[in-house]
Every structure is written in C-alpha cells, then in structure tokens.
Amino acid sequence: MVYGPDPTRPDPIRSISGLLYPNILISNNPSCKGDWYHNHSNKMLTLSIASSTSAITATPKTTFTSSTKSSFNGIRIAHVLPSPAVRATTPTPRQSVVMMAKKEEELKEIRAKTTEEINDEIVDLKGELFMLRLQRSARNEFKSSEFRRMRKRVARMLTVKREREIDDGVGKRQSRKLDRQWRKSIVPRPPPSLLKLQEEEAAEEAKESASAST
C-alpha cells in the first residue's frame, strides 16, 4: 500500500489559498508546496506584525495639557509684631536691676535665719500654696501673683539650705536622705492664713453670743 495524497480529494491548501490569493497558482509539486508554505508563513507573520503595529499606532496618545496660568500666587510673609501686653511683660534693664536688688535683699534675710526657722517657714508656705489651690478650684477670688511669690521664696529657702549643706561637706545623696527624714518628721498644721480665719470666726461667734446673752 502506497501512502500519499488522494488525487480524488481536493487539496485543502489549494482551496484555502484560492480564497486568500485567487491570483496565485499553486502547483502540486512538493517542492513548490514547501516554498509556498514558507512564503505563506512569512507573509502571515508579516501581516500579523503589521496589524499589531497598526493597532498600536492607531491608539490615540494621551496628551497632558499644562495650563500656563496658575492659581498659586505665593505665600505672603508678614512681620508679626508682639502685642503691647507681651512687650509690657518684658522687663527693662532698670526693672531687672530692681528685681535683682530685691532678690539679694530677700536672700540676705533668709540667710539670717536658722535652719529650723527656714524649715518651719517652708512648711507654712506649702500650706499657703495648698490654700490658694483650693481657692482656685472653688473659683474664689485670689491673687495669681501670690503663687509666684511663694514659690520663689520656697526655692530661695531651699537654695540657702543647700548652700549650708555644701559648707558642711554634705553630698547630694546625703542631702536627699536628710530631706526625706525631715519630710517624715513634719507635723501637719494649718497654714497661718487659715489660723487667722479661724480666729476671726471664733471672735465673731463670741461677739454674737455675748450680744445674744445681753
């Protein structure tokens, strides 16, 4: 049995090529068929590449238009001048000299006291600060300058205490130890302002009771 193309059946390649290329005649020679296959594949590849490139080039390009005008006109930097209240709080050289003189005078007064007197006054000032905090929380009238004055006085008293410890050769660790011992030995007592208020109330009650008895 000999295998080969059936002459009775139509050649599919010829029929397809007749549809695609009606003017091209394809012979039955196998060598011609091989050349045709080679040329046809090259043509199809060329057509596919050309169609793909044409599809790529046919797509519209995205254009970004930049407007020549801009809404940004820059940042305006203005010279910020301090308010009159802020400038008034800044001490002048003359005021600073007066403040330094008052500080030296207060330190001289504190240095004239003994350590026990300084400790007692510190306890009293701490009590006064506590009373001021209570008045502030209750929204009562009070002078805010009293806070600064008392805190400064407490700080200066502690400074004088530390100066004396340095003169005695007491180190920082020993100073902290002595401070803890002193805090533990403090006996709570009402501040002088509260004592004065209690005395005034007691005097008023005594006067009212005396007037009621008569």
CA-to-CA distance for 99 and 103, rounded, in angstroms? 6
Chain centroid, CA 104 distance in Å: 41
- CA–CA gap between residue 91 and residue 10 (Å, rounded): 116
Predicted local confidence at residue 133, as pLDDT: 87
Query: What's the rounded Cα separation, in Å, for the pair 155 and 106?
Result: 12
d(CA 196, CA 87): 39
Q: Write the DSSP string, 108-148.
A: HHHHTS-HHHHHHHHHHHHHHHHHHHHHHHTT----HHHHH
Contact 132, 146 (CB under 8 A): yes
Q: For residues 197 and 128, is the Cβ–Cβ distance under 8 A?
A: no
User: What is the structure's pLDDT at 12?
Assistant: 53
The C-alpha R_g of the chain, in whole angstroms, comes to: 53
pLDDT given for residue 9 in this prediction? 60
What the chain holds in terms of domains, given with CATH numbers, is 12-47 (no CATH), 97-190 (1.10.287.310)
pLDDT tens, per residue, the chain with 214 residues: 445 555 566 555 555 545 444 444 444 444 444 454 455 555 554 544 444 444 444 444 444 444 455 555 666 655 555 555 545 566 688 888 888 888 888 889 999 999 999 999 999 999 889 888 888 887 877 777 888 888 999 999 999 999 999 999 999 999 999 999 999 998 888 888 888 888 888 888 888 888 887 7
Position 26 scores a pLDDT of 46
The rounded distance, in Å, linking the Cα atoms of 136 and 139 is 5
What pLDDT, on the 0 to 100 scale, is given for residue 147?
Answer: 84
